[in-house]
Amino acid sequence: MKKYTVREKIPDSADEALRAYPPLVRSLLFYRDIADEKKAREYLLPDYERDLHDPFLMLDMEKAVERIKQAVQKNEKIIVYGDYDCDGIPGSVVLHDFFEKIQYPYFKNYIPHRYAEGYGLQMPAIEQFAKDGVTLVITIDCAITDVAEVARANELGIDTIVTDHHLPIIDPVTGEERLPPAFAVINNKRRGEKYPFTMLCGAATAFKLVQGLLLRPLPTWNIASGWEKWLLDMVGTSTVADMVPLYGENRALAHFGLKVLRKSPRLGLQELLRKMNVAQHALTEDDIGFSIAPRINAASRIADPIDGFNLLSTRDADSAITLSTHLESINQRRKGLVAAMIKEAKGKLAERTMRDVIVIGNTEWFPGLVGLAANTLMEEMERPVFVWGRRGTTVIKGSCRSPGNINVVELMTLAADAFIDFGGHAVSGGFSVDNERIHFLENALLTAYGRVEKKEAPTLGVIIDAHLRLDDVSWSTYEHIERLAPFGTGNPKPLFLFEDVQIDKTRTFGKEKNHLGLMFRTEDGKKVDAIAFFAQTEDFSADVRDGGKVSLVAHMEKSVFGGKTELRLRIVDMF
């Protein structure tokens, strides 16, 4: 059973400082490091003008804006080169919509194929761009480590503007930062960066570039002030999907992004939501994380990522229907493949001695799916995990995840000779390895693990925000909780403990009867519904039956389905 810790009562000083808010809100604010009225007001009431910073505070923003304006004035051919995930694709739509808005015809979006080409800038693509007369490439969510590729573009007369949010390469010997020799590099993780917020996703970084362009427009553009806010549906999608922390500027981008998503005129998005039975007007961050993002990502994981881009950018109703149907189909296939992969990996690991770093793979696994498996295995094994596959490509490619005790980019840097290429964030990354060297990868990483700086492992316990009674499950309580939304990384959804509550009725639901539903009753007999997706009574160490008593760990949520709105509990655990 998981270890649970219920938060203690907040200090009297914080309780007094936040007295303008209900007791539950005070506690939730305090445990998000908000202990005074001013910070609370700013947190609970995001403001677009106040919370979004000046894009020209970013290094190279001025250069990038002037270069794009020059390209537009000279009718240069421009390529918007975006990564193939649910950060690069929405970010690519941001630039696409900008160029469409200024009616610039000499640009194209390019999304590399995950298997046929691979992550980041690719030499064959650069060679082809030169043959096509392209003179400017703008990257979205990639290329911060593509030193050789950008250098080749320079040789061919192509300027590159890199917009990315991944970590730059740090030379393990000199400790110096190695940036690609681009015309401009917009990445607020650069050393010497003075931008106030360093945790933007790739699409948000692209959005800052558009903001900069609109603050210094060409006279012919004639774009109404505030038009860029319509792009926030894409920025908000990526901010949630890429799991960047939802505080600071990201909180505002996610907050206003959801507002725009609920009104977004994008035909492909509307069709996709219809197929998923998601009410657009009530769309939440959960719908992005569990419904929209997996379908956009599925396009690159087992098909062609351009389909995800086309879905979000199309203005044709028939294309919207066709593309949404296609993405729904491949997402169903993706689910089955990942489940089989995790089952196989666990079987192999059960036969092995557990080591500080896990490396596991199969040549028949899709590289685009291994990140999903790596995340699940990392959470269960509580150590860095590297998972690889080769299906659909000629070299081995993989993904890695860390529980937070080490930086996987630093780990891979110390074992750089074992890789063809690698990159990523502190706790997640990607890599490629020669087929002949894959069997030596684990030993190379274990050697590097002995040298890498280690942090104290994060607590393995689960923090419960408060005890509640079933009588507390009300719209009034939910409205207090909702004030802190959107929830995600850095702003977790509040978790509550309901102790010693009696189950009135149990049921299973769904086409395959693979979801669990429970009904409880308040003291005055009012129903309280609770659900757990992909769960059965035997999955819990509790007396889960009609009339049984349990301690219930759950979130409180609003469900909008089939035109019906209801308040319910989302079960996390029972014991």
Q: Where in the chain is the domain with CATH 2.40.50.460?
A: 4-9+461-574
For the stretch 513-534, pLDDT in tens is 999 999 999 999 999 999 999 9
For the stretch 281-294, pLDDT in tens is 999 999 999 999 99
CATH architecture for segment(s) 4-9+461-574 = Beta Barrel (2.40)
**DSSP per-residue letters across 433-452:** E-GGGGGGHHHHHHHHHTTS
* CA max distance for the chain: 77
- Per-residue pLDDT at 168: 93
- CB of 553 closer than 8 Å to CB of 536: no
pLDDT at 215 over 80: yes
Among the residues of 285-316, which ranges form H helices? 285-287, 293-302, 306-313
Mean pLDDT in residue range 189-205 = 96
The whole-angstrom distance between residue 537's C-alpha and the CA centroid of its chain comes to 31
Distance CA 171, CA 99 (A): 37
The fold adopted by the segment(s) 55-226 is: inorganic pyrophosphatase (n-terminal core) (3.90.1640)
pLDDT at 225 over 90: yes
- Per-residue pLDDT at 172: 79
Distance CA 530, CA 501 (A): 12
For the stretch 22-63, pLDDT in tens is 999 999 999 999 999 999 999 999 999 999 999 999 999 999
The whole-angstrom distance between residue 76's C-alpha and the CA centroid of its chain comes to 33
Distance CA 457, CA 7 (A): 20
For the stretch 291-339, pLDDT in tens is 999 999 999 999 999 999 999 999 999 999 999 999 999 999 999 999 9
Residues forming a β-bridge with 108: 79
pLDDT at 457 over 90: no
Q: Output the average pLDDT for the chain.
A: 95
Q: Where in the chain is the domain with CATH 3.10.310.30?
A: 352-449
For the stretch 461-489, pLDDT in tens is 689 999 999 999 999 999 999 999 999 99
For the stretch 66-115, pLDDT in tens is 999 999 999 999 999 999 999 999 999 999 999 999 999 999 999 999 88
Q: Where in the chain is the domain with CATH 3.90.1640.30?
A: 55-226
Q: Which pTM was predicted?
A: 0.89
Looking at the chain, the whole-number percentage of residues with pLDDT higher than 90 is 92
- CB of 381 closer than 8 Å to CB of 403: no
Distance CA 6, CA 21 (A): 21
The torsion angle over the Cα atoms of residues 238, 243, 246 and 251, rounded to 10 degrees, is: 0
The fold adopted by the segment(s) 352-449 is: Diaminopimelate Epimerase; Chain A, domain 1 (3.10.310)
- Per-residue pLDDT at 93: 98
For the stretch 329-381, pLDDT in tens is 999 999 999 999 999 999 999 999 999 999 999 999 999 999 999 999 999 99
pLDDT at 460 over 80: no
